[in-house]
């Protein structure tokens, strides 16, 4: 499976070329720890408490371990050396202002300014073509939840349900939603003006409907000539392959380029738990195999329509990445086709990123930044992902060990 398309993900010399011996050993230590689920479970419980209680050792410990592995820095400026290092290996960067879970109009306004600042900065850099946004950074979670719940109770197209749902809000809520739309619009406008792509992250299913609708509206506005705005589709949901096809139909009808960032999804356990607790059918696929099948089908659908879809393969799955390059080969398209981009999270799957870059693919690292206390939810998801995904930590650790042995350090 690893040798198709003349690309191999087994070359650890290429994979870890950017890492010093010391960094490699640190990564070895960290992935060994994350391989122990009981330790991760304990860490997930204790870390938020330690942060809340301002325990003096907490921040230095986090900064020197998991933060350093998965985050670019505490400020935008601190990401510069990381981006410069990645550029040496033809790896691009997607900047992510990783602050999560902050509510209140003041914080939302601040987030909008921060995102615009990220775009301005990215536009001056040679290897930062995209940035990513979480709409929960701009909107009250409860308002999104309300809109979602109204939309889900209606039938008809996404847009029709969205417009009806907004209409059902109170006058005050309508004004609040208007401010959300303005914030999103201003960020996308800035992205379009500065030629920096804007990825809208996918979040929990119980707020996703208004996120999808607003993102479609943004694509309709800004993606007429080229893809500026990208929606994220979580293929761990059993309805997303159909949603991709529906989105494509809407894009064809409205004559815009569909920006499609494909992920499997980061909230599986939370989704299943909520569905069980509230007694509704789980939105998640019955098993990993079905999730993989839909993911790869979605990739295939996008590659079949590359003239009208701009695809981001956002995955650490070796097969899905290779499969994309194979599909391009079959169609006689170059691996660096302008409508195909690969991306992995910073700190994970360097074997995929760096080997894709070496093979001439357009590939990036998704690089979050932000103050330690504000990126804790992101770090928690990474710790959880690396301990719960079967084989993930084992694979990372195996590759790191192989490279340590090769270097003889």
Ligand X SMILES: Cc1cc2nc3c(=O)[nH]c(=O)nc-3n(C[C@H](O)[C@H](O)[C@H](O)COP(=O)(O)OP(=O)(O)OC[C@H]3O[C@@H](n4cnc5c(N)ncnc54)[C@H](O)[C@@H]3O)c2cc1C
Q: What is the DSSP letter of 70?
A: H
Residues 345 and 316: beta-carbon distance below 8 Å: yes
Confirm or reject binding of residue 131 to ligand X (CB under 6 A): no
Among the candidate windows 26-34, 137-145, 163-171, 281-289, which touches ligand X by CB under 6 A?
Answer: 281-289
Confirm or reject binding of residue 340 to ligand X (CB under 6 A): no
Confirm or reject binding of residue 232 to ligand X (CB under 6 A): yes
What does the chain come to in residues? 409
Residues 290 and 264: beta-carbon distance below 8 Å: no
Q: Taking the complex as a whole, how short is the minimal distance between the CB of residue 404 and ligand X, in angstroms?
A: 23
Query: Strand, coil or helix: what is 284?
Result: strand
Confirm or reject binding of residue 285 to ligand X (CB under 6 A): yes
Burial (0-12, 13-18, 19+ Cβ within 10 Å), 402: middle
Confirm or reject binding of residue 392 to ligand X (CB under 6 A): yes
In the complex with ligand X, which residue's Cβ is closer, 31 or 166?
31
Positive or negative: CA dihedral 220, 225, 230, 233: positive
In the complex with ligand X, which residue's Cβ is closer, 58 or 384?
384
Confirm or reject binding of residue 393 to ligand X (CB under 6 A): no
In the complex with ligand X, which residue's Cβ is closer, 131 or 192?
131
**Both tokens assigned to 246:** 């529906």
Confirm or reject binding of residue 315 to ligand X (CB under 6 A): yes
Q: Taking the complex as a whole, how short is the minimal distance between the CB of residue 27 and ligand X, in angstroms?
A: 17
36 phi/psi in degrees, rounded to 5: -105, 95
Among the candidate windows 50-58, 169-177, 249-257, 280-288, which touches ligand X by CB under 6 A?
Answer: 280-288
Distances (CA, A) of 97 to 12, 32, 100, 129, 297: 30, 28, 9, 15, 31
The only residue of 11, 215, 317, 325 in contact with ligand X, by rule CB under 6 A: 317
17 phi/psi in degrees, rounded to 5: -55, -35
Interface with ligand X in residues 165-224 (CB under 6 A): 201-202
Confirm or reject binding of residue 389 to ligand X (CB under 6 A): yes
Confirm or reject binding of residue 128 to ligand X (CB under 6 A): no
Residues 129 and 146: beta-carbon distance below 8 Å: no
Query: Strand, coil or helix: what is 232?
Result: strand
Among the candidate windows 34-42, 114-122, 283-291, 331-339, which touches ligand X by CB under 6 A?
Answer: 283-291
Residues 380 and 109: beta-carbon distance below 8 Å: no
**Closest-CA residue to 19 (of 76, 66, 80, 89):** 89
Question: E strands, 245-323, where?
Answer: 258-263, 309-314
Q: How far apart are CA 92 and CA 44, in angstroms?
A: 31
Among the candidate windows 69-77, 158-166, 249-257, 314-322, which touches ligand X by CB under 6 A?
Answer: 314-322
Q: Which helix (H) or strand (E) holds 2?
A: none
The only residue of 11, 47, 208, 234 in contact with ligand X, by rule CB under 6 A: 234
Among the candidate windows 31-39, 139-147, 174-182, 308-316, which touches ligand X by CB under 6 A?
Answer: 308-316
The only residue of 111, 211, 214, 268 in contact with ligand X, by rule CB under 6 A: 268
Q: Taking the complex as a whole, how short is the minimal distance between the CB of residue 234 and ligand X, in angstroms?
A: 5
**Both tokens assigned to 304:** 């079949």
Site string for ligand X, 355-374 (x = CB under 6 A): -----------x--------
Residues 217 and 206: beta-carbon distance below 8 Å: no
In the complex with ligand X, which residue's Cβ is closer, 43 or 283?
283
Among the candidate windows 18-26, 116-124, 252-260, 287-295, which touches ligand X by CB under 6 A?
Answer: 287-295
Residue ranges that bind ligand X, judged by CB under 6 A: 201-202, 232, 234, 236, 263-268, 284-285, 287-288, 291, 314-317, 343-345, 366, 385, 389, 392
């Amino acid at each position: 499976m690893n040798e198709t398309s003349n690309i191999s993900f087994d070359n650890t010399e290429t994979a870890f070329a950017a890492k010093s011996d010391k960094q490699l050993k640190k990564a070895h230590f960290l992935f060994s720890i994350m391989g122990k689920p009981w330790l991760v479970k304990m860490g997930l419980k204790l870390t938020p408490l330690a942060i809340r209680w301002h325990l003096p050792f907490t921040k230095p410990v986090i900064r020197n371990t998991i933060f350093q592995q998965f985050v670019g820095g505490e400020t935008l400026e601190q990401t510069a050396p990381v981006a410069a290092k990645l550029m040496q290996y033809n790896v691009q960067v997607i900047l992510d202002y990783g602050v999560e879970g902050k509510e209140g109009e003041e914080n939302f306004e601040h987030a909008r300014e921060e995102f615009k600042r990220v775009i301005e900065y990215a536009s001056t850099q040679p290897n930062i073509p995209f940035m990513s946004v979480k709409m929960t950074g701009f909107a009250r979670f409860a308002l999104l939840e309300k809109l979602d719940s109204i939309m889900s109770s209606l039938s008809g197209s996404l847009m029709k349900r969205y417009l009806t749902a907004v209409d059902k809000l109170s006058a005050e809520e309508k004004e609040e939603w208007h401010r959300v739309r303005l914030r999103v619009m201003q960020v996308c406008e800035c992205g379009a003006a500065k030629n920096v792509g804007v990825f809208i992250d996918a979040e929990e299913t119980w707020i996703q409907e208004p996120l999808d609708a607003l993102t479609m509206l943004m694509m309709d506005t800004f993606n007429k000539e080229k893809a500026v705005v990208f929606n994220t589709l979580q293929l761990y949901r059993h309805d997303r392959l159909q949603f991709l096809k529906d989105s494509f139909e809407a894009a064809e009808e409205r004559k815009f380029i569909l920006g499609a960032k494909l992920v499997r999804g980061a909230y599986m356990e939370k989704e299943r738990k909520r569905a069980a607790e509230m007694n509704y059918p789980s939105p998640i696929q019955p098993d990993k195999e079905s999730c993989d099948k839909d993911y790869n089908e979605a990739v295939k659908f996008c590659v079949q329509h590359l003239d009208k879809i701009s695809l981001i393969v956002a995955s650490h799955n070796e097969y899905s990445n290779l499969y994309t390059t194979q599909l391009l080969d079959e169609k006689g398209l170059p691996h660096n086709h302008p409508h195909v981009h690969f991306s992995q999270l910073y700190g994970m799957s360097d074997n995929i990123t760096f080997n894709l870059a070496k093979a001439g693919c357009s590939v990036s690292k998704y690089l979050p930044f932000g103050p330690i206390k504000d990126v804790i939810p992101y770090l928690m998801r990474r710790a959880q992902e690396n301990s719960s995904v079967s084989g993930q930590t084992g694979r990372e650790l195996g590759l790191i060990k192989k490279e340590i042995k090769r270097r003889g350090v």
